[in-house]
Structure 1
């Protein structure tokens, strides 16, 4: 019996290292009312469970993003996802009462997942689709980065040791990927960068294979062009990053 306990004691450090310093998450699913005259609302996101500052930052950031996506009442203070869902539903019902013969069903689908985590940094991708009438709905992806040590959400510029160097490298790779000649205006082939000047995407995040830039629809191109995703491998960009990734 003593040998068994000794063996278990020796195995504990090994078993405990399988997940390293990864945070613990549970899935949270929220759904709107299931009725013929109700908008379709489905939310599936991770909730951080560890009693750490970064967990609070993650959960708050995700809630704020969802509130922003679903809230239509600018005069009312909305503080929770449930209140945001109620706001989305109320806005739909108000419109349906005004235009009963013209209003089509509204939809909101939001899916979040952890796409990268190491000892100091974590990235969550939040994909959403909303339809509130019109010719088509709108899809978008949001990348949220968190400093696990400081317990805070990171701004894009905080990811880089050499922001300007990274931007120049990203522009070169963007031009190659999108067939924009290196010596011509960045908008020469139809892009819509402001002031004819390349800029990094609003959404930048770490992935398993490299840093990803997501230009959502309308950000630098038309809706018909869809989102533009640029993936840059760590082997080529580590020199620009504040947090290097081991290759």
Structure 2
């Protein structure tokens, strides 16, 4: 009897262990406006979305996929809305197109057609850390479109977003180090204002963008247009070699 109990207990432990070690995997997905019924018999703005879907551990995958899709839904928001209500990419894209159709009906001489390009890709994967690069570029009238690049860092065991406190041992120390790298890249002397080259850092104090990207070789920070400089200056990128950044990191 005791032997039977021991065997059952051993099987249970193996099963639990296997469940805990489910690997996260990725599937490349894509979507365009051509998939929408609203565009079957009429010309629609171009909507191109390339993204990854996560699967493996159901609970963790659901959390990560929700964050990815929320980025896509938010990117397609138009007007004064700030919180997406769409339940699917199709619904979000339909909303974007319906706004364009309404604007076009109101302003038939409107120059240019709206379009949206959105992408989400995994750029770093380890047992402790997933990093996704998220890009969006929209044209909704005016002189030019506007795009952004941001990053999403995830704990693959829980599906929760990793905070700065979880990524860095001391964010202030790392920011001071990053400022030296930024000044070197932009050729700004230590005794000069951080805004010497026409940057727009508030209160003349250096700060990092809200998100950081991780690759095998480096950390990536992207200041999007208008973050610290004019649109004409384009995105400003700061890369720091992983070997230099490692002493400041809390994760491997």
CA distance in structure 1 between the aligned counterparts of 2:129 and 2:24, rounded to whole angstroms: 11
Equivalent position of 1:143 in the other structure: 151
Equivalent in 36, 45, 52 of residue 39 of structure 1? 45
Matches within 5 A, 1:95-174: 95-174=103-182
What is the DSSP-based 3-state SS (H/G/I as helix, E as strand, rest coil) of the residue aligned with 2:49?
Answer: strand
- 1:59 and 2:65 aligned: yes
Query: With structure 2 as the length reference, what TM-score do the two structures score?
Result: 0.83
Q: Which runs of 5+ in 2 are unaligned?
A: 1-20
Equivalent position of 1:14 in the other structure: none
Offset from partner CA, 1:54-101 (integer Å, 9 cap, x none): 322221111111111101152983333222111110110010000011
In the TM superposition, what is the alpha-carbon distance from 1:203 to its structure 2 partner? 2.5
In the TM superposition, what is the alpha-carbon distance from 1:227 to its structure 2 partner? 0.8
CA distance in structure 2 between the aligned counterparts of 1:181 and 1:36, rounded to whole angstroms: 57
CA distance in structure 1 between the aligned counterparts of 2:164 and 2:230, rounded to whole angstroms: 24
CA distance in structure 2 between the aligned counterparts of 1:36 and 1:133, rounded to whole angstroms: 20
CA contact (8 A) 2:48 2:116 kept: yes
Query: With structure 1 as the length reference, what TM-score do the two structures score?
Result: 0.85
CA contact (8 A) 2:195 2:201 kept: yes
CA contact (8 A) 2:23 2:56 kept: no
Compared CA separation, residues 172 and 30, structure 1 to 2 (3 A): same
Is the deviation greater in 70-79 or in 105-114? Answer: 70-79
In the TM superposition, what is the alpha-carbon distance from 1:155 to its structure 2 partner? 2.8
Equivalent position of 1:17 in the other structure: none
Equivalent position of 2:18 in the other structure: none
CA distance in structure 2 between the aligned counterparts of 1:103 and 1:119, rounded to whole angstroms: 49
In the TM superposition, what is the alpha-carbon distance from 1:38 to its structure 2 partner? 0.9
CA contact (8 A) 1:54 1:147 kept: no
In angstroms, what is the RMSD of aligned CA positions? Answer: 2.0
Equivalent position of 1:13 in the other structure: none
How many pairs does the alignment contain?
225
Equivalent in 183, 195, 203 of residue 191 of structure 2? 183
Offset from partner CA, 1:137-163 (integer Å, 9 cap, x none): 112111110011232112334311111
- 1:225 and 2:233 aligned: yes
CA distance in structure 2 between the aligned counterparts of 1:106 and 1:147, rounded to whole angstroms: 36
CA contact (8 A) 1:215 1:227 kept: yes
Is the deviation greater in 25-34 or in 105-114? Answer: 25-34
Q: Which runs of 5+ in 1 are unaligned?
A: 1-19
CA contact (8 A) 1:95 1:103 kept: no
Equivalent position of 2:221 in the other structure: 213
What is the DSSP-based 3-state SS (H/G/I as helix, E as strand, rest coil) of the residue aligned with 1:153?
Answer: coil
In the TM superposition, what is the alpha-carbon distance from 1:53 to its structure 2 partner? 3.6
Compared CA separation, residues 36 and 135, structure 1 to 2 (3 A): farther
Equivalent position of 2:246 in the other structure: 238
